[in-house]
Amino acid sequence: MRVPELMPLPGEQAMAAGQRAEGAVADVLAALGRATGRGIVVDSPPGAGKSALVVRAAADLATAGEPVMVVAQTNEQVDDLTDRLASNDPVLHIGRLSAQDYVTSPRIARHGQVTVSSKLASLTGCPVVLGTAAKWATVGDDVSWPWAIVDEAYQMRSDLLLRIAGRFERALFVGDPGQLDPFSTVETERWTGLTWDPMQSAVAVLLRHNPDIEVRTLPVSWRLPASAARVVAEAFYPFSGFEAGTGPGDRRMEFSARAFGSSPVDEAVEMAASSGWALYELPARHTLRTDGEAVSACAALASRVLRRGAATWSERAPSGAPVTADRIAIGTAHRDQARAIRSALGAMGLEGVAVDTANRLQGREFDVTIVLHPLSGRRDATAFHLEAGRLCVLTSRHRHACIVVARTGIPELLDAHPSTEPVHINVPAKFPDGWEANHAVMAHLAQWRVRAL
């Protein structure tokens, strides 16, 4: 585990980590230059500068005269990369391959150097072309690109890679192995054990057929605070691990308004502000997914953070910045839970807080996150609720503080969970195991418990 045992002085850590991170990125770019083998996989823990790497790699290859196709999973992600790439190099000609019904977003429109088209033909001459995997899958493979950069490759399904892999010779795959695996609505064991099982992730299929491809890891998370890096690394990245880019003292969060009296909600937000974590624990009860108390607790916590004028100080905002609604996210396991929380916020007249499921919060970043624990109020855990990636996404979106809302009794639930999942031959065992990861996280949260009245 690359987690420093001694906590250095504020700032120091950032410098040391900065060098390590830069070194890792430089290595990757060098490896691309050497172009050994058919490609390279870069594992990127939460907020380790994945997009930055993609942008630099694309620019490097383009300037080296190697046309490159960039593949991301959603239009949101593609626009994001396009914007960064354009801002990074104002003269670079960039193609934005889009679907017919795509509406150019303002952040793309403002870059004159970006050509948007649904036809590859009208993007010839652009050394870099970006598009969603789904779109790339529809363009004819008459053109073959020397290089592709595939972003969020761990969320891409093997069968989608199959459809685009013919378009490029070599590729840089970037992604976060700790997040949610791609899934299918179809339940079948027909393909289990096959190296090309279409239900696995693009990276999994790639590595099973090309074991010689080297896998590198970005060692530093710039998003997660020192308070979160270790627990997240230990629970969800047991083998590679990573460290925080900032030291314990480098970030802080404070409230301008003091609490009137003391309520558990205030206690929770204050504890989160000072320690980076809080477990807001509701009395044990078996509930529906849309547990009314849990839902309103999530809403109350969010509103309290805002109403008390939270502000953060960090390497990004040395002189402090207010925590606005758009810097807060509330994460859930299920859509109906998110919907319920949204309407609860609406009833409180709160706008702009991002409320969504783990799947949709992947790859996003906030100052404060409030998590409705997937196992809260359940009597039995299911594979879905235990999935390590789900909890990992929910507990690794924040720069400052994470507040977990849950009913009492999750460790007991985990202990009572029957471990009877089928095991298959020729299927590599998946790590970390969700059951274990959940135990680890709960063990950590136990020390930041606040009991609701």
Which residues of this chain interact with another protein, rule CB under 8 A? 38, 137-138, 141, 158-159, 161-163, 165-166, 184-186, 188-199, 202, 205-206, 209-210, 285-288, 290-292, 336, 339, 377-380, 382, 415-426, 428-429, 431, 433, 435-436
Q: Contact, 136 vs 24, CB < 8 A?
A: no
At closest approach, how far in Å is the CB of 382 from another protein? 8
Q: Which tokens is 32 given?
A: 């691309």
At closest approach, how far in Å is the CB of 50 from another protein? 20
Measured CA to CA, the distance from residue 310 to residue 202 in angstroms comes to: 41
Which residues contact residue 66 at a Cβ distance below 8 angstroms, ignoring those fewer than 6 apart? 127, 146, 147
Measured CA to CA, the distance from residue 295 to residue 345 in angstroms comes to: 9
At residue 369, what is the residue type? Answer: T
The position carrying tokens 């509103």 is 303
At closest approach, how far in Å is the CB of 238 from another protein? 10
Residue placing its CB nearer to another protein in the complex, 180 or 295: 295
Q: Which of 267, 254, 279 is nearest to 367 (CA)?
A: 254
At closest approach, how far in Å is the CB of 200 from another protein? 11
Residue placing its CB nearer to another protein in the complex, 5 or 101: 101
Residue placing its CB nearer to another protein in the complex, 269 or 350: 350
Q: Which tokens is 73 given?
A: 């999973």
Residue placing its CB nearer to another protein in the complex, 244 or 381: 381
At closest approach, how far in Å is the CB of 336 from another protein? 7
Residue placing its CB nearer to another protein in the complex, 214 or 421: 421
At closest approach, how far in Å is the CB of 309 from another protein? 31
Residue placing its CB nearer to another protein in the complex, 188 or 319: 188
At closest approach, how far in Å is the CB of 185 from another protein? 6
Measured CA to CA, the distance from residue 425 to residue 312 in angstroms comes to: 50
Q: Which tokens is 416 given?
A: 């009572």
| Range list of β-strands (E), 336-425 | 354-357, 366-372, 398-407
At closest approach, how far in Å is the CB of 389 from another protein? 16
Residue placing its CB nearer to another protein in the complex, 112 or 166: 166
CA angle 317, 318, 320 (to 5 degrees): 60
Judge residue 91's burial from the number of C-beta atoms within 10 Å of its C-beta, 0-12 exposed, 13-18 middle, 19 or more buried: exposed
Measured CA to CA, the distance from residue 300 to residue 273 in angstroms comes to: 16
User: For the residues of 105-170, what is the DSSP string, one character each?
Assistant: PHHHHT-TTEEEES-SGGGTT-SEEEEEHHHHTTS-TTS-EEEEEESSGGGSBHHHHHHHGGGEEE
Residue placing its CB nearer to another protein in the complex, 65 or 422: 422
At closest approach, how far in Å is the CB of 219 from another protein? 24
Q: How far is CA 118 from CA 72, 79, 123, 139, 153, in A?
A: 16, 14, 9, 9, 23
Q: Contact, 234 vs 1, CB < 8 A?
A: yes
Which residues contact residue 261 at a Cβ distance below 8 angstroms, ignoring those fewer than 6 apart? none
| Range list of β-strands (E), 176-287 | 214-217, 220-221, 243-244, 252-255, 277-282
At closest approach, how far in Å is the CB of 13 from another protein? 32
Measured CA to CA, the distance from residue 430 to residue 447 in angstroms comes to: 29
At closest approach, how far in Å is the CB of 416 from another protein? 3
Residue placing its CB nearer to another protein in the complex, 89 or 197: 197
Residue placing its CB nearer to another protein in the complex, 331 or 432: 432
Residue placing its CB nearer to another protein in the complex, 141 or 365: 141
Measured CA to CA, the distance from residue 255 to residue 214 in angstroms comes to: 46
